[in-house]
Structure 1
Amino acid sequence: MLIVPATKKLLPLAGPSIAGDDDWGTTLLGPWYATVLFWRPRIVLLVNEMTLLPVLLHWHLRSP
């Protein structure tokens, strides 16, 4: 299970979390963290805590 703590900039865009405070991820690489980069297109930057591996994801906005 992948649980990614988000920065304050990403939280309003991502919506409420469904993970509890005592939940942890079970990936082999360990914990990941995420923030949003306000580029065009909008990008989410995920970074692995153990390896510092960066991953860029395109952020698709959902229409209401």
Structure 2
Amino acid sequence: MSTQEGQSADLDDAIWRASRRSQANGACVEVADGFPGTVPVRDSKQPHQILLIPTAAWTTFLTSLRG
């Protein structure tokens, strides 16, 4: 999988985490840390479909939610 900068992102060993507010029914968004410049995001029900979002865009998104 490639990041925005064209670098390879090996997500096989990624440690995924969900929000503390997630429901126990498995319907949650998960993110992985440790990928500089990119935030991997996935749906827990579709773990092989991963979005690679630039860190700046992810930060803007979270800021707008907290707004």
Give TM-score scaled by structure 1 length. 0.42
Say which structure is richer in helix. Answer: 2
Q: Which has the higher contact order (CA 8 A, sep 6+)?
A: 1
Give TM-score scaled by structure 2 length. 0.40
Say which structure is richer in strand. Answer: 2
